[in-house]
Amino acid sequence: MFPLLTLALVALSVFLTSTLSGVFGMAGGLVLLAILLATLPVTTAIAVQGAIQIVANGSRAWFSRTYIDWNVLGVICLGLGAAALALFVLRYTPDLATVCIAIGLMPILVWIPKGWLALDASKPHHAFLCGFLGGGLNLAVGASGPAVDIFFIRTAMDRRKIIATKAATQVISHAAKVVFYGGLATAMGGREWMMVLVAAPFAIAGTNLGYHILQRMSDDGFKAWTRWVVTVIGLFYFARGLSLLLGA
């Protein structure tokens, strides 16, 4: 059993990171994963984060369900399935340094000029690539926010449709991640189950708060702040990955 202080800190972290994701549609999961990686084995941390993110993203998708683009979501799921099959065939297993460096490099994607990489999730072939790349990264390293974001932030969708469709996408992606690592029963013991159960209501509460903050933002402000938030988080991950490789 985890100490009460640890559970309280996890609950607070989940509330704050779910609020962050409720506003930007991502970033919160990256922060939460960093916290879990500091205390749990890599595969367990990814599974626990996936279980918590199913609740957080699921509640966000429910709050904004009228804005979900189901056609885009369906094609993204096809891409995710292809990525899962490829990783399964390769018998992929993550390690901490690779996870941190991969996540640390992701924010580069959101700074690529639109003319260089004009991706748009509303186009079927782009949506499939979004599922393959974003879903594959989520399975491989436990997070994929910036990789998914480049397919949405340059679309003609407004911020509410972006958040809703991304949330539904992430619910499926995180569920696939939990299954990929052997399911909750295999990847997590009784202690981790307690962590998820304690965190669940805080994930919903934080998501609800973030949803209401989002309604007060402009589309331009939403897209500009998204880039800077994920960049700062990415720098932390990259520095952590380098320190692991250098044995620091």
In angstroms, the CA 207 to CA 112 distance is 29
Contact 134, 172 (CB under 8 A): no
The pLDDT score that the predictor gives to residue 185 is 47
**Helix H segments across 38-95?**
42-63, 70-90
Cα distances from 226 to residues 22, 126, 157, in angstroms, run 12, 21, 15
**Could you tell me how far CA 93 lies from the centroid of its own chain?**
19
Contact 152, 162 (CB under 8 A): yes
Contact 199, 96 (CB under 8 A): no
Q: Label residues 65-98 b or e (16+ Cβ within 10 Å = b).
A: eebbbeebbebbbebbeebbeebeeeeeebeebb
In angstroms, the CA 116 to CA 238 distance is 24
Contact 140, 92 (CB under 8 A): yes
| Rounded mean pLDDT for each run of 10 residues along the chain, 248 residues in total | 74 88 75 85 83 84 89 94 92 87 85 78 92 90 81 80 88 87 56 79 87 79 77 90 83
Domain ranges across the chain: 4-245
The pLDDT score that the predictor gives to residue 20 is 85
In angstroms, the CA 99 to CA 113 distance is 26
